[in-house]
Structure 1
């Protein structure tokens, strides 16, 4: 699970509990001007992830950096349904794939914040 905080200038993603260990990530700070948009996507867990480095990949739990097609994506997913995809530009990651408590609500919040920043 992930905690998402929005400030006037940043999107902050904090993996919770052991997810910090498994994903090798304490938090991600992304300028809102680098957020292209967010989408609630329960089917994202069925997509190919690519090569894991570093992180964890076991059935039902994907955490860390995954490389596919020359692009890096950050995954911290532990639920087959409650997932959010955040598209980025000019960042280390092209996407963040996250399990959150309210994907639709977070989608609206992030998109509104990103639209206001751009």
Structure 2
């Protein structure tokens, strides 16, 4: 699972527990100017992930790490699809972050309220 927060003008995603090991990341910091928005989207868990490099994928158990699909790089940290938030990015290493959070609706509201208007 991940903790998502806002620190100044940055979105901060802290990977928790053993997921740091499975995802090979402990923290992602993204300038809010590069965050396009966020949605709660449990359906994305059923879509193909692409090629993991590096990461962990055990179907219906864990998806964690970096995955490459259709020329995009996507970061995943998910155990429970019902608690997924998808964070869309621009001009970043990742095209999107797909993370499990404790409260998807509150996380989406937090991100959407912090993202600068386009």
Q: TM-score, normalised by structure 1?
A: 0.95
**1:93-112 superposed matches below 5 A:** 93-112=94-113
Aligned to 2:18: 18
Aligned to 2:85: 84
Aligned to 1:42: 42
Mind listing any 5+ residue stretches in structure 2 that lack a counterpart? Answer: none
RMSD over aligned CA atoms reads 1.0
Deviation of 1:22 after TM superposition, in Å, equals 0.6
Q: Per the alignment, in what secondary structure is the counterpart of residue 22 of structure 2?
A: helix
Q: TM-score, normalised by structure 2?
A: 0.95
Deviation of 1:47 after TM superposition, in Å, equals 1.0
Q: Per the alignment, in what secondary structure is the counterpart of residue 81 of structure 2?
A: coil
Mind listing any 5+ residue stretches in structure 1 that lack a counterpart? Answer: none
- Structure 2 CA distance for aligned equivalents of residues 33 and 66 of structure 1: 23
Number of aligned residue pairs:
117
Once superposed, which parts of structure 1, at least 4 consecutive aligned residues long, lie more than 4 Å away? none
Aligned to 2:65: 64
